[in-house]
Structure 1
Amino acid sequence: MCNFVSMKQKISAANHSVAIFFLLILLSFGLGYRNYSQMKLRIISDLNQALRHTVLQHKGKWLEVDTIQTYSKLQEAMGAPVFINSSNATFSEALSITELKDVSGLSLHILKKNDPNGTFNEFSAGYLVSDTLVWLSAASDTSELTLSFRGYARCPATMLFGLSQQTIPAILLLAALLWGGFAFFRLRNARNNNDKKRRKELITFGNLSLSLQETCFYNEQQARLKLTPMQYTLMEMFFLSSSHLVSKSDICQSLWPGKENAEETLYTLIRRLKPIIEENSNLKITTDRGRAYGLEMRG
C-alpha cells in the first residue's frame, strides 16, 4: 500500500511539473503575441495620425487644380493607375515612433469618382499601411477626380518583434526552459535512485533476480519474466531457500494444501517452468533423488 501511494505521488509530481512547464510556455507565447499585436496596432495608429497631420499641412500644394490635372493626364497617357510612393519629411517628423522615421513614406493615388475599376496600390508583405484618406476635389475642372493618401512603413516581423515589449515573455520562456531542465533532471535522478533502491532489494541467483517488492523476476536484461502465479510462487520458494532446494512435500503443501496426489500437478508445473527458466537465465531446475526440486547454475 505504501509503495502504491509513493508511486501515485511520483506520478502526480511528474504531471504537475509538465503542467507548470506548458503553463509557462503558453504564458510566454500568449503574452509575446499580445505585445506583438499591440505594437502592430500602435504603428498603424501612428501612421494614421501622421498622415492626417501631413495632408492637412500640405493640402494647398497637393490639391491645386494644375497638380491634380497633371496626375490625371499622366494616368491617361500610361493607360494604367498611377501610384506615387515617396518619403516625406513632414510625414516622418510627425511620427512619434522614432524607429519608423527612416522606413516610412506616403502613397498618392488618383481615382475617378464612382469608377468600379478603381483600385488602391497593394503593398508587399513586410509593410504596415495606414487607413486610406480620400480627398474630394471641389474644383469644377477636377470634380470627377479623387485623391487618396496612405502612409506606410517597412516593418518586417523582426522589426516588429524588436519594437514590442518582449522582456516579460522572454523571462517566462527562460523560466519554462529552466523549469523543464530542472524537472527533467529531478525525475531522471528519482528514477535512477528508484532503480538503485530496487537493485538493493533484489535477491539474485545466477543472472536471475527476484523482487519481493514487485513480486516478479527479472532476467539479465532487466526484463520481467512472464510467469503464472503458481510458477512465481515456486520460483520464490527456490530463491528464499538458502540451498535453493525445496522438498516436494513442502511445495505441494504450499501450493495445493490438502490436495491428494499433488505430485502429478507439481510435475506438470515443473515441466512447463523449466524451458522458461533455461531460456531466460543461466539456471536450471534439478531433481534431488526424487524427493526435492532445486535451482542450479548451468555449467
Structure 2
Amino acid sequence: MNKLRYGMFVPLAFMIASLISSCFSYSNARQNIADDLNEAMFAFANENRELWTRQDTIAALRKMHETTHKPIIYQASDVNFRNAALKEDAYFILALVDKRTTAPKIKGHKIASDSIMLIPENNISGVAVQLQGFADCSMASVFAASDQTLPGVFFSLSLLSIVSMYIWRRKETEPITELAVEVPSIPSLTGIKLTPMQRQLAQMLLDAPDMKVDKATLCSALWGNKSNAEESLYTLVRRTKAALSVANMEIVCNRGDSYELRVIS
C-alpha cells in the first residue's frame, strides 16, 4: 500500500511538469507576438517617418485629439508580419505627445509592442508622435499558436502512469487462488446391502494399504483355522463382488495370492 501511495507522486509530477511547460510555451508565444509587433512597427515607422513628422500631420493629430480625445488607429492589414494571422488582429496607435498632451492608455488584455517617439526636425515646441503596436489576440488563439509538444508529452506520460498504477493495483488486490489439488475420495460401504461376512471382507480390503490383503490373512481373520477356508473365501468373494458392483467397486484377484478392492471410475 505504501508503494502505491508513493507511486501516485509519479503521475502528479508529470501533470505539474505538463502544466508548467504549457505556461512557459504560452508565455513564449505571447512574447513572439510582441517581438513580431516590434519588428513590424519599426519597419512601418521607418517607411512613413517623414509623413508622421510633417507639421500638417502634427496639426491634424492635435486637432483630432482636441475633438475626440482619442488617438489615430491604423489597421495593419498591409503590414508584413512573420505570423501572417496578425494582419487581422494587429493595429498601430498614433498619438501626439507634448507638454500638454500625453498618450492615452489602451485598456483591455492586449499584446503590446514597445513604443517609439517620432520627433520632427526643428522641433521647438517639444512635440512628438508616439507609435505603438497592439494585437487583439484571445487566450485561445495564443494557446493555439504556442508549441504544446512538450506539455503534451508530459500529459501523456501522466495518463500512462495513472493507467499503469491502476493495473498494478488491480493485480495487487486480486485474491491469490490456490491450485485445487484433486484428492481422491475414500470409498464407503454405506448404503450397500451386504451380509455381515461380506461387510467384514469388504471393510478389511477397504482399510488395508492399497486396499489389498493376502488370502492367508483374510482366511485367518474370517474363519480362523478352518480347513476349507480358501474355498469359503472364493465363494464369499464371488458373492461380495455382485453386491459391490452397484457401488462401482470390484474385488480383483492378484496372481491367486491376494485380493484387492478397486473403485471403477
TM-score range normalised by the length of the shorter chain: 0.5 to 0.7
Cα separation, 1, equivalents of 2:115 and 2:164: 53
Measure the CA separation in 2 of the matches of 1:119 and 1:106. Answer: 13
Provide the C-alpha distance between the structure 1 equivalents of 2:67 and 2:72, rounded to a whole number of angstroms: 15
AA aligned to 1:11 is N
Q: Which has the higher contact order (CA 8 A, sep 6+)?
A: 2
Matches within 5 A, 1:36-185: 36-78=26-68, 80=69, 82-90=70-78, 92-93=79-80, 95-113=81-99, 115=100, 118-125=102-109, 127-140=110-123, 143-185=125-167
Q: Aligned partner of 1:98: which letter?
A: A
- SS in structure 1 of the partner of residue 72 of structure 2: strand
Is the partner of 2:8 in helix, strand or coil?
helix
Cα deviation for residue 89 of structure 1 reads: 4.2
1:11 pairs with one of 2, 13, 28: 2
Aligned to 2:225: none
The answer to whether the 8 Å contact 1:44/1:129 transfers is: yes
Quick one: distance in 2 between partners of 1:155 and 1:138?
36
The residue matched to 1:61 in structure 2 has which SS? helix
Note the alpha carbon deviations across 1:92-138, whole angstroms, 9 max, x for none: 31x1122212211111111223x4x724331412x211011112233
User: C-alpha displacement at 1:58, in angstroms?
Assistant: 0.6
SS in 2 for 1:132: strand
2:20 corresponds to which letter in structure 1? G
Q: Which amino acid in the other structure matches residue 18 of structure 1?
A: M
Asked if the contact 2:76/2:88 (under 8 Å) is kept, the reply is no
Determine which structure has more spread, i.e. the larger CA radius of gyration.
Answer: 2
Q: Secondary structure at the match of 1:97?
A: coil
Q: Is the 8 A contact 1:137 1:143 kept in 2?
A: no
Structure 1 gaps, min length 5: 1-9, 201-299
TM-score normalised by length of structure 2: 0.61
User: SS state of the match for residue 121, structure 2?
Assistant: coil
Pairs within 5 Å for 1:217-256: none
Counterpart amino acid of residue 61 in structure 1:
L
Contact 1:84 1:107 in 2 (8 A): yes
CA contact (8 A) 1:29 1:169 kept: yes
**Structure 2 CA distance, aligned partners of 1:128 and 1:135?**
22
Tell whether the 8 Å contact from 1:87 to 1:104 is kept in structure 2 after alignment: yes
1:27 is aligned, of 13, 17, 21, to 17
Match of 2:202 in 1: none
Are the counterparts in 2 of residues 133 and 150 from structure 1 also a CA contact under 8 Å?
A: yes
Does structure 2 retain, via aligned residues, the 8 Å contact 1:136–1:143?
no
| 1:54 Cα deviation after fit | 0.5
Separation in structure 1 between the aligned mates of residue 59 and residue 103 of structure 2, nearest angstrom: 19
Partners in 2 of 1:109 and 1:144 — Cα distance? 14
**SS of alignment partner, residue 130 of structure 1:** strand
Residue 181 of structure 1 deviates from its aligned partner by 2.5
Deviation, structure 1 residue 151: 0.8
Q: RMSD of aligned C-alpha atoms? A: 2.2
Percent identity between the two aligned chains? 19
- 2-side partners of 1:45 and 1:77: how far apart? 33
Residues 247-299 of structure 1: CA distance to partner in whole angstroms, max 9, x if unpaired? xxxxxxxxxxxxxxxxxxxxxxxxxxxxxxxxxxxxxxxxxxxxxxxxxxxxx
Structure 2: any 5+ residue segments left out of the alignment? Answer: 179-265
